[in-house]
Amino acid sequence: MAAFRDLTSGWRPPADHISLPQTCDKPQSGVADGIAAPSDGSKKTEDVQLTIVSTTPNPLEIGNDFTANVQLKNIGTKPVLIPQVPDGEKVVRTSADRTEEEYEVGDISFKLATDSKHAVPVFLTSGGALFANPDDPASYVALQPGTWLELKLSGIVECGVSQCFAGINPDKKAVMTAWWYQRRLTHKVNGCAEIHGSYNVRQVDSTPFMIEVMDPGDKKSALVFKF
């Protein structure tokens, strides 16, 4: 293992540090996206493997909190750079004239499938992210071939988006997966126009993790009654 980060103890995305002039009568905003070259120069997502190692509790309980440990492993032949700073405010890069800001972020989300064919996963309420300054190598962890970064994250066994196309039901062989999304975010202001940019660095889906999901009411009472 190259590093361990416990994101259940806290993490923070950076706030915007630049803004349009208050004198703008007709402000304009836009969005740009694309693909950014990874800071390590790699191009293959296949060089990184994501694995769910364990969850607490196990089985998962519908509607209740859980924590999960995941591993992001370099299975390639060259070092891979992964953001490693939980506090994004410490790494955001702002230009001297305060018209541009930029940082890199990698975050984890979880999906759970409990339908009969395990074909319609539900995004869970969960969160955790690490940040880096693209110009500061120290804000990344360099995963050498065969090494990994282990993360501990928290979540809730409930739908985490506004519209879910499936429910979460008791299932002895539910399928849980994690998704790592690493991207470079930019914010530029030019006069009365601003552009927010999001440039994909790498995306990795984990291998399926089979786990039981149960209704909390199915648990046996831990109370001991004396007669």
How far is Cα 111 from Cα 130, in angstroms, rounded to an integer? 19
Q: What's the whole-model pTM score? A: 0.86
Per residue of the chain (227 residues), give pLDDT as tens.
889 999 999 999 999 888 888 888 888 888 887 666 555 554 445 699 999 999 999 999 999 999 999 999 999 999 999 999 999 999 999 998 888 999 999 999 999 999 989 999 999 999 899 999 999 999 999 999 999 999 999 999 999 988 887 889 999 999 999 999 999 999 999 989 999 999 999 999 999 999 999 998 755 433 333 33
* Residue 168 CB partners (closer than 8 Å, separation 6+): 62, 112, 114, 122, 157, 158, 159, 213
Q: Other CB atoms closer than 10 Å to residue 196's CB: what's the count?
A: 14
Round to the nearest angstrom and report the end-to-end CA distance of the chain: 52
How far is Cα 98 from Cα 192, in angstroms, rounded to an integer? 14
